[in-house]
Structure 1
């Protein structure tokens, strides 16, 4: 068939839409979307015919249109296997929610709730009330409030308590975290003048005292969540800094960053200061995250003295930074799990994954090794290998957790090609390339059968293609 005949053989848009497969596409995607897809596919085939390719069948055009629509509608925000070795991976959504939190969030999405309605009085209520009692119970604070993340918590607290005045902070605590978040920038946006004291590695009580002036609004301590200074160092702990602030009649604010409500050493992890300890040390305000070590949805908490929390809640920015009913419901369910610390590690995914024994992960790696080796062609060398996981999201940045995984070695660009194929799987597999190998840390892999079935969709020919 010559080019002209092949072009004439192409079905019209109406013919495709009126066919059985086309009608099914219209039912699924809507007529306008299908018309656009069919026109796009036909345009591509016209170009192909001019380049010597054969004309497609009616069914072939409909199939191509369906594939195009599926690709357009496929979200990149879909489940994946996090085998990076970072449990709380910021780019992969951080904490997995507990089942109780998932159920609570689902209910909140489906139903009307008494979000800002007092069922006892029949009058308007406060959305923070659903979490206030729990937060005070778990931290020992007088009062509490919630915003959409910890950066917002710091911004709001500073603006409400110290706008137009000075906040004194150790130079060694002026952190920058992911996404170019810098504490000095947040303080500037809050309308607070930063007063740095001490040096990068050593800050003493006298440094804070000498910085006090009539313009000082508060003293601030910031947890260096994503780095550690070691060697010849000195810092003023929360208890002593609170005492210095209170001697001067000032509040002390402690930004814990990630924040935890329990002593992690109970599960074999390195100890981090808890929110309750910061409150007990005398901090008037403590800020921390909800979606990191706490294991809940993204949120930022401010707990502390009742009068200061009242000032914060009266700040107009509070409304701009508030959280919705879905996150409040999920966070309430998450916080309730902390009332039963004996079963916390079995119910809270973050803690379950962080405390998972290396021996259990090693056994998983040994079971998966032959499954992975079965689809890898010659030139790829997989092995089970010891590795080290990290918590992520700035928590315990210099500490790692012994783990186990799979290491796949190959030469040239083959590893990058393999990593790309893994990312294109129905459920993407995300590892990391390091030292001539694609490394898959299995600490966060709990769906073993689903992982194996997912790998079976790989065609070996893809591993050889350019």
Structure 2
């Protein structure tokens, strides 16, 4: 066993101030006012203990300052804002959709006040929280009824458990998706208590496959929109409209899981058409599930819309209570959905569509400001220039679709040596971390999501370039 390292100087240890002496210092007194006396005493003790271990003495001023710095570091939130310059608008690891100002204001009101969450103001009796957004969801989707849970995986889980527990669920092999974090559809089905009946092949599934699988043990037919990947080439799938006819003939529900889900036609923003929720309802699906924090542009939520009798059964499932959303998220959902009543102004009111529809000329103006600042900050060791690039939607939505964009490219003049990784690390350590992407020996800052240029430049000024 190795011996502990002896202090450099016993005389230095004798010069260490006491905790009480440090706590009487004005800086420590101010720290105790900000962070509490107990936390400040603990920070002072830790600072003195480190000095004792190193054998280097210091005065009360230095220990009070060190303790304050330690407390300030501890007080920093773990959930930090970042500059998302990855080129992925709905970045799962960076929080997905930015919330509309109307939704932020609604959440603030809900947090600061008692609200009629489950209270019928008209009758003065207990109400149902889903009623706060039910009418809006029905209006925007054409569905008879609607309910909400905390995400789309929960929506699928609740639906499977309600209608297919102890029964079979028929799914095409080509639709057995895996979503982020290695969560797979078969695993969700297993936890829901239903037996997976996998039909067809990876690339081709026919109506005869469904007909051969359906029977007395069938709980439902599940159609899953492959929103996070595409199978191209020699492919075949059965349209939802045809599946609806089959399901209704056999008196079992057709559930259409749209995944990301959208309430508007994305072609108006220059994107490829994605099935809308209203289209899925009109095609005859008995229930449609979709997310709130992806293409819809709201907070994390799972929606289930469809037949009134089936929604009623979902709401009676005890699991529903475990998956429900709170007042804050409900306030945000309601405010976000109301924005869709004026689809012509979504690029002005909803950040997701503002960023998706952002023209390259706007990014050119941003590049004109930050390229000179980066050149000055990084010096001759790096080549900084703007160049065309491609952005993507993200969060598993429209995986093969890209958006023309503009990036600032930062490339070290001398390749290798880890300089690019060192710079990327330094940028992530800024007060507001900057997250880009490394591609072809260059660090790229995709400018599609950079709107606060002044804030970015002020933040950049604190960079210590490697």
Global fold match (TM > 0.5): yes
2:39 aligned partner: 33
Contact between 2:103 and 2:332, CA under 8 Å: does it hold in 1?
A: yes
In structure 1, the residue matched to 2:313 is: 311
Bigger drift between 35-44 and 373-382 goes to: 373-382
**Which of 203, 218, 221 is the matching residue for 2:205?**
203
How far, CA to CA, are the matches of 1:349 and 1:270 in structure 2?
19
* Consecutive unaligned residues in structure 2, runs of 5 or more: 1-7
Most deviating of 393-402 and 66-75: 66-75
- The offset of 1:238, in angstroms, is 1.0
Contact 1:88 1:292 in 2 (8 A): yes
- Offset of 1:365 from its aligned partner? 1.4
1:136-195: CA deviation from partner (whole Å, max 9, x where unpaired): 000000000000000000000111111111111111000011111111111111111111
- Which of 156, 165, 168 is the matching residue for 2:167? 165
- C-alpha separation between the residues in 2 aligned to 1:65 and 1:367? 39
The alignment partner of 1:446 has SS state of coil
SS at structure 2 position matched to 1:443:
helix
**RMSD (CA atoms):** 1.1
Cα shift at 1:348: 0.1
Q: State the partner residue of 2:51.
A: 45
1:453 aligns with 2:458: yes
Matches within 5 A, 1:362-381: 362-381=364-383
For 2:48 and 2:440, locate their aligned partners in 1 and report how far apart those are by CA, in whole Å: 46
Shift of 1:363: 2.5
For 2:85 and 2:273, locate their aligned partners in 1 and report how far apart those are by CA, in whole Å: 25
State which of 297, 301, 323 in structure 2 corresponds to 1:295: 297
Q: Please give the alpha-carbon distance, in whole angstroms, between the structure 2 residues aligned to 1:11 and 1:192.
A: 67
2:5 counterpart residue number: none
Q: Distance in 1 between matches of 2:347 and 2:244?
A: 33
Match of 2:271 in 1: 269
Match status 1:252 vs 2:269: no
Per the TM alignment, residue 5 of structure 1 is displaced from its structure 2 partner at its CA by 3.3
**Alpha-carbon distance between aligned partners in 2 of 1:433 and 1:15, rounded to the nearest angstrom:** 50
Residue 427 (structure 2) aligns with: 422
Q: State the alpha-carbon separation in 1 of the partners of residues 254 and 132 from structure 2.
A: 26
Partner SS state of residue 96, structure 2: coil
- Map Cα deviations across residues 74-102 of structure 1 (whole Å, 9 max, x no partner): 12201110011111011111000000000
Cα distance 1:376–1:346, how it changes in 2: closer, same or farther (>3 A)?
same
Structure 1 length normalisation: TM-score? Answer: 0.96
Deviations along 1:30-72, whole A, 9 cap, x unmatched?
1111111111111112233x3xx5x323211111111111112
- Residue 256 of structure 1 aligns to a residue whose secondary structure is strand
Equivalent-residue separation in structure 2 for 1:389 and 1:5 (angstroms): 62
For residue 366 of structure 1, report the CA deviation from its aligned partner: 2.6
The match for 1:177 is 179
Mapped to 2, the partners of 1:14 and 1:254 lie a distance apart of: 67
Verify: 1:5 aligned to 2:11, yes or no.
yes
In the alignment, structure 1 residue 124 sits paired with structure 2 residue 130: no
Q: What's the counterpart of residue 345 of structure 1? A: 347
Q: What is the aligned partner in structure 2 of residue 59 from structure 1?
A: 61
Residues 396-415 of structure 1: CA deviation (Å, up to 9, x unaligned): 00111111111111232111
What is the CA deviation profile of residues 116-143 of structure 1, one whole-angstrom value per residue up to 9, with x for unaligned ones?
A: 0000000000000001000000000000
Deviation at residue 19 of structure 1 after TM alignment: 1.1
Q: Which residue of 2 aligns with 1:321?
A: 323
Q: Distance in 1 between matches of 2:373 and 2:379?
A: 13
Instruction: Report the counterpart of residue 240 of structure 1 in structure 2.
Output: 242
Alignment match of 1:435 (pick from 440, 463, 466) = 440
| SS in structure 2 of the partner of residue 377 of structure 1 | helix
Q: Please tell me whether the aligned partners of residues 362 and 403 of structure 1 are also in contact (alpha carbons under 8 angstroms).
A: no
CA contact (8 A) 2:299 2:333 kept: yes
Matches within 5 A, 1:74-89: 74-89=76-91
How big is the shift at 1:274? 0.1
User: Contact conserved, 1:362 with 1:405, CA < 8 A, in 2?
Assistant: no
> What's the CA shift for 1:10?
1.9
Q: Output one character per residue of 1:401-459: Cα deviation in whole Å (capped at 9) or x when no partner.
A: 11111111123211111111111101110111222111111100100000000000113
User: Corresponding residue for 2:135?
Assistant: 133
Deviating beyond 3 angstroms after TM superposition, the runs of 4 or more aligned structure 1 residues are: none
Of 10-19 and 109-118, more deviation after overlay is shown by 10-19
Cα distance in 1 between the residues matched to 2:75 and 2:124: 44
In 2, Cα distance between equivalents of 1:339 and 1:19: 60
Aligned to 1:191: 193
The TM-score with structure 2 as length reference comes to 0.96
- Structure 1: give runs of 5+ residues left out of the alignment: none
Q: Distance in 2 between matches of 1:88 and 1:249?
A: 38
